[in-house]
């Protein structure tokens, strides 16, 4: 029986106790009286009945008030204390019972807090012993996870059903790049723990590779399989598969999963094709020019006494054709710069970092002042940074020895796909023979030597170097011509923030994961969830308010995956309400130019497909999504759990179920409220702590959770 029902019963009993004895006594006396006595008593009572009734009602009201106060202090207070004790036992060890109510209840609360404190001391001691016992195992586990996370090659581990149970940071960034496109803002929604690898790779090819490995295992051969596949976006991927063997099993039955190393080869294939095309164009385009030059030179040699006007025409032909060939070679060099990058294992590096390193070395070794001018600080180049810096310092040392410049200057510019790195000085003219000598001798700086010459270093980079004068400025410079690099995708600042510390890209328990659709009778702890939240222009979805941010995170195998998130600001296509901006902190400038709901909602649907949705006050967020169904054609038909309602189910005697209050009650810290992603992460932690509290009440399945939620008072709220 609920507390309110018990209070009603208590009030009825109070009323019976106050009126029952009087009514029974009056009835017995009435039955024993004569008719005359009854008439006299009736006249006597009728004149005094209003006063008596008022006194009875007043007394009953006072009794109800006293009963309500006692009921609230002793019954409801003890019920709240019981809920708090369960919190202390499971969800929040640090929570304590508030010393409130009558002295007896306060003494009980104080004793409960003392017991909780003693239990915490014992649990801390047990936890410390367990931690010491498994420290080496955890260290090995963390070391493996960290190594996998930082590998330069994309690695994905799957079980036999193709469910991803490990992936490293390189794989996350690579597939994030593949997922991005003009109509997608998912930011890597294709890869994630528990998701299917078949959303990325062709299923038939993966299954064929598994069959090849099983055959090789049966034959006792090295188990490995390679294949090339295409993504939905048309990218070419080269994949290598090796098996994960179950301990104790033999033959093809030993395979419990597989490891995939994946490489995007689209760019290299395109470069090979472009290189062949450029070489063919250069060969065919130069043939006619060489023919014309050869014919003109032959005429000049055969007829040395020809007329000056005719000789001038032949010389002009040679000059024109040579200029065309030079122009064609320059154009080829620009188009061919991508292929230069593959001649030596080079790294992508910012040009200004090379200059800064060279300046430090020149100051340290030569004590020669250096300055910079016209720097493109966003220019990336493909370079062997050590040999390039060594070459710059080598040239600076040569200049100091032979020309004693007062200072050196660096300049960094670009043209097309070529970067120009200039080492500038003011001084006397240098001869071409001197520069050629420097170019061909082994580089040396004091006692430091290199087996490479300046020309070797340039060839290693597939670039060029020349000496040139600026006559107007009375300066000269060495120009390094280097290929411009396209840097690899770097994780965004928020990714790096959430990615710090122990990696979360693995869950080996998923080896036994079974692919099942959403079943309402499955346990709450067995399903995959998407916890989401929205920020909006206002609180009235039916009156024109719009979504301006969606944030979401996934829960897989009872773990909140903070690195598998969805976070997108949306252009609402309407002005923001000034009173709402201080709440969510999103301004007009932040939404301007962002994708509209038509672009974002399909990507969010892909992110949360085949999962149960979770939100706090979900009716509010779902109403916004429902109002966009007709416009976008996207319907979210999966079950939706509401932590507001589930909190009311788990703690029916608590006065508030606002998210802030629940967070404090469960001991959950959040950096900032009213940010969609942060709120969704906090809601996910709330849900995970509510699961055992719901199980104590016999609510273990999705169906039971939905039915219990529908019976709460808050389920009546509509938007």
Name the burial class of residue 631, with classes exposed (0-12), middle (13-18) and buried (19+) by CB atoms within 10 angstroms of its CB: exposed
Q: Which stretches within 33-96 are classed as H helix? A: 35-70, 77-89
- CA–CA separation, 89 and 119 (whole Å): 9
pLDDT at residue 495 in the model:
47
Domain for residue 677, yes or no? yes
Same domain, 257 and 285: no
How do residues 270-314 score in pLDDT, each as one tens digit?
666 666 676 667 676 677 777 778 777 888 787 888 888 888 887
CB 76 within 8 A of CB 2: no
pLDDT at residue 334 in the model:
60
Domain for residue 510, yes or no? no
Same domain, 654 and 529: yes
pLDDT at residue 248 in the model:
67
- CA–CA separation, 355 and 373 (whole Å): 11
Higher pLDDT, 342 or 199: 199
Angle between helices 702-710 and 643-650 (to 10 degrees): 80
> How distant, in Å, are the alpha carbons of 7, 459, 462 from that of 437?
104, 16, 20
pLDDT at residue 699 in the model:
94
Last residue of a domain, one of 440, 460, 483: 483
pLDDT at residue 640 in the model:
94
Which residues touch 678 (CB under 8 Å, ≥6 apart)? 551, 670, 671, 672
- CA–CA separation, 80 and 655 (whole Å): 9
Same domain, 377 and 452: yes
Higher pLDDT, 19 or 709: 709
| Strand partners of residue 156 | 167, 260
| pLDDT at residue 511 tops 90 | no
Domain for residue 342, yes or no? no
Please give the radius of gyration of the chain, using alpha carbons only, rounded to the nearest integer. Answer: 40
| pLDDT at residue 338 tops 60 | no
Higher pLDDT, 596 or 150: 596
List the structure tokens of 221. Answer: 């051969």
| pLDDT at residue 228 tops 50 | yes
pLDDT at residue 296 in the model:
78
Average pLDDT rounded to a whole number, residues 29-39: 77
pLDDT at residue 497 in the model:
44
- CA–CA separation, 293 and 319 (whole Å): 8
Give the CATH number of the domain where residue 387 resides. 3.30.565.10
CB 506 within 8 A of CB 165: yes
Same domain, 602 and 655: yes
Q: H-helix or E-strand containing 642? A: strand 640-642
List the structure tokens of 238. Answer: 């080269």
pLDDT at residue 501 in the model:
41
Same domain, 464 and 547: no
- CA–CA separation, 242 and 224 (whole Å): 5
Strand spans (E) along 311-463:
347-350, 370-375, 380-383, 408-415, 418-425, 442-445, 448-453
CB 260 within 8 A of CB 241: yes
Domain for residue 124, yes or no? no
- CA–CA separation, 71 and 147 (whole Å): 60
Residue whose entry in the numeric block shows the structure tokens 């299917």: 196
Q: Which amino acids are annotated catalytic?
A: 674
Last residue of a domain, one of 89, 111, 131: 89
Three-state SS for 628? coil
| pLDDT at residue 697 tops 80 | yes
Domain for residue 95, yes or no? no
Q: Which of 237, 241, 285 is nearest to 265 (CA)?
A: 237
Backbone angles phi, psi at 524, to 5 degrees: -60, -35
| pLDDT at residue 329 tops 50 | yes
Q: Which of 142-151, 389-398, 466-475 has the lowest mean pLDDT?
A: 142-151
| Strand partners of residue 560 | 555
How do residues 478-502 score in pLDDT, each as one tens digit?
999 998 886 554 444 444 444 444 4
Residue whose entry in the numeric block shows the structure tokens 């966009």: 628
Fill in the DSSP letter of residue 594.
P
Higher pLDDT, 258 or 338: 258
CB 339 within 8 A of CB 271: yes
List the structure tokens of 58. Answer: 């007043």
Q: Which of 672, 386, 683 is nearest to 560 (CA)?
A: 683
Which residues touch 288 (CB under 8 Å, ≥6 apart)? none
Same domain, 666 and 520: yes
Residue whose entry in the numeric block shows the structure tokens 């014992």: 122
> How distant, in Å, are the alpha carbons of 265, 413, 463, 562 from that of 268?
5, 26, 19, 34
Residue whose entry in the numeric block shows the structure tokens 């250069």: 282
Q: Which of 567, 546, 555, 570 is nearest to 625 (CA)?
A: 546
Domain for residue 129, yes or no? no
Average pLDDT rounded to a whole number, residues 205-227: 86
Same domain, 328 and 244: no
- CA–CA separation, 166 and 673 (whole Å): 31
How do residues 412-439 score in pLDDT, each as one tens digit?
999 888 999 999 998 888 888 888 899 9
pLDDT at residue 422 in the model:
94
Same domain, 531 and 643: yes
Last residue of a domain, one of 337, 363, 382: 337
| pLDDT at residue 572 tops 90 | yes
- CA–CA separation, 347 and 485 (whole Å): 9
Three-state SS for 529? strand
SS3 content of the chain, % helix, strand, coil (to 5): 55, 20, 25
Same domain, 324 and 352: no
Higher pLDDT, 220 or 627: 627
Same domain, 227 and 307: no
Which residues touch 616 (CB under 8 Å, ≥6 apart)? 533, 642, 643, 644, 659, 679, 683, 686
Strand spans (E) along 312-359:
347-350
Is the pTM higher than 0.75? The answer reads: no
Same domain, 81 and 12: yes
> Which pLDDT band holds residue 258 (cuts at 50, 70, 90)?
very high
Domain for residue 110, yes or no? no
CB 602 within 8 A of CB 635: no
Q: H-helix or E-strand containing 229? A: strand 225-230
How do residues 65-85 score in pLDDT, each as one tens digit?
877 777 776 676 677 777 777
How do residues 179-212 score in pLDDT, each as one tens digit?
654 445 544 446 888 888 888 888 888 888 898 8
Angle between helices 676-696 and 77-89 (to 10 degrees): 100
Give the CATH number of the domain where residue 207 resides. 3.30.450.20
Q: In sequence order, what DSSP letters do the residues of 124-189 get, joined into one string?
A: HHHHHHHHHHHHHHHHHHHHHHHHHHH-SSEEEEEETT-BEEEE-HHHHHHHHHHH-BTTB--SST
Domain for residue 571, yes or no? yes
CA 474 from centre of chain: 54
Q: Residue 67 is part of which domain span?
A: 3-89
pLDDT at residue 1 in the model:
57
Same domain, 310 and 215: no
Residue whose entry in the numeric block shows the structure tokens 């593959």: 342
Report the domain count for the chain: 5
Q: H-helix or E-strand containing 386? A: helix 385-402
Which residues touch 601 (CB under 8 Å, ≥6 apart)? 625, 628, 632, 634
CA 628 from centre of chain: 25
Three-state SS for 446? coil
Angle between helices 432-440 and 385-402 (to 10 degrees): 140
CB 615 within 8 A of CB 642: yes
- CA–CA separation, 492 and 188 (whole Å): 13
Give the CATH number of the domain where residue 613 resides. 3.30.420.10
């Amino acid at each position: 029986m609920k507390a309110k029902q018990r209070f009603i019963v208590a009030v009825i009993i109070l009323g019976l106790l106050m009126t029952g004895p009087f009514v029974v006594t009056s009835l017995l006396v009435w039955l024993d009286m004569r008719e005359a006595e009854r008439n006299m008593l009736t006249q006597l009572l009728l004149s005094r009945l209003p006063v008596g009734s008022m006194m009875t009602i007043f007394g009953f009201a006072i009794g109800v008030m006293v009963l309500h106060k006692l009921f609230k202090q002793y019954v409801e207070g003890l019920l709240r204390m019981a809920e708090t004790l369960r919190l202390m036992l499971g969800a929040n060890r640090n929570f304590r019972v508030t010393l409130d109510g009558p002295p007896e209840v306060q003494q009980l609360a104080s004793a409960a807090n003392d017991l909780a404190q003693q239990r915490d001391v014992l649990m801390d001691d047990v936890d410390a012993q367990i931690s010491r016992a498994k420290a080496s195992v955890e260290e090995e586990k963390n070391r493996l996870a960290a190594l996998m996370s930082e590998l330069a090659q994309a690695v994905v581990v799957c079980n036999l059903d193709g469910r991803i149970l490990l992936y490293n940071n390189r794989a996350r960034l690579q597939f994030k790049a593949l997922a991005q496109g003009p109509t997608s803002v998912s930011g890597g929604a294709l890869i994630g723990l528990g998701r299917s690898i078949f959303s990325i790779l062709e299923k038939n090819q993966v299954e064929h590779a598994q069959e090849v490995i099983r055959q090789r295992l049966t034959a006792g051969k090295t188990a490995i399989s390679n294949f090339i596949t295409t993504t939905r976006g048309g990218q070419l991927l080269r994949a290598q598969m090796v098996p994960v063997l179950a301990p104790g099993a033999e033959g093809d039955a030993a395979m419990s999963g597989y490891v995939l190393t994946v490489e995007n080869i689209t760019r290299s294939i395109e470069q090979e094709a472009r290189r062949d095309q450029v070489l063919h164009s250069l060969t065919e385009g130069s043939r006619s020019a060489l023919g014309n030059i050869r014919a003109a030179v032959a005429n000049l040699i055969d007829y040395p006494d020809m007329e000056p006007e005719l000789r001038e025409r032949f010389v002009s032909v040679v000059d024109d054709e040579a200029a065309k060939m030079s122009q064609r070679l320059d154009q080829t060099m620009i188009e061919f710069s991508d292929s230069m990058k593959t001649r030596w294992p080079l790294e992508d590096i910012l040009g200004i970092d090379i200059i800064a390193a060279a300046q430090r070395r020149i100051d340290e070794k030569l004590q020669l002042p250096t300055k910079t001018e016209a720097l493109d600080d966003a220019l990336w180049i493909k370079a062997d940074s050590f040999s390039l810096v060594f070459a710059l310092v080598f040239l600076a040392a040569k200049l100091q020895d032979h020309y004693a410049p007062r200072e050196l200057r660096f300049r960094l510019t670009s043209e097309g796909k070529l970067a120009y790195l200039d080492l500038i000085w003011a001084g006397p003219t240098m001869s071409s023979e001197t520069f050629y000598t420097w170019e061909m001798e082994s580089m040396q700086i004091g006692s430091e030597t290199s087996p490479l010459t300046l020309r070797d270093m340039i060839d290693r980079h597939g670039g060029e170097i020349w000496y040139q004068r600026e006559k107007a400025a009375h300066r000269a410079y060495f120009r390094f011509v280097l290929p411009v690099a396209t840097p690899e995708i770097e994780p965004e600042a928020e990714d790096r923030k959430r990615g710090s510390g122990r990696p979360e890209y693995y869950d080996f328990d998923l080896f036994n994961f079974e692919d099942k659709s959403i079943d309402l009778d499955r346990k709450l702890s067995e399903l995959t969830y998407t916890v989401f939240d929205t920020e909006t222009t206002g609180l009235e979805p039916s009156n024109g308010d719009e979504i301006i941010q969606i944030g979401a995170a996934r829960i897989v195998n009872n773990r909140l995956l903070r690195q598998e998130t969805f976070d997108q600001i949306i252009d609402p296509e309407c002005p923001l309400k000034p009173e709402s901006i201080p709440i969510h902190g999103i301004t007009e400038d932040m939404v301007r130019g962002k994708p509209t709901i038509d672009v974002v909602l399909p990507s969010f649907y892909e992110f949360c497909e085949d999962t149960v949705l979770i939100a706090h006050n979900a009716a509010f967020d779902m109403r916004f999504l429902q109002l966009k169904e007709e416009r976008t054609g996207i319907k979210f038909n999966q079950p939706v759990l509401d932590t507001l309602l589930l909190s009311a189910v788990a703690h029916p005697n608590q006065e508030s179920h606002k998210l802030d209050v629940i967070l404090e009650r469960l001991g959950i810290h959040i950096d900032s409220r009213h940010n969609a992603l942060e709120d969704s992460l906090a809601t996910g932690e709330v849900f995970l702590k509510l699961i055992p509290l719901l199980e104590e009440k016999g609510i273990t399945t999705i169906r039971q959770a939905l039915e219990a939620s529908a019976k709460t008072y808050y389920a009546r709220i509509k938007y």
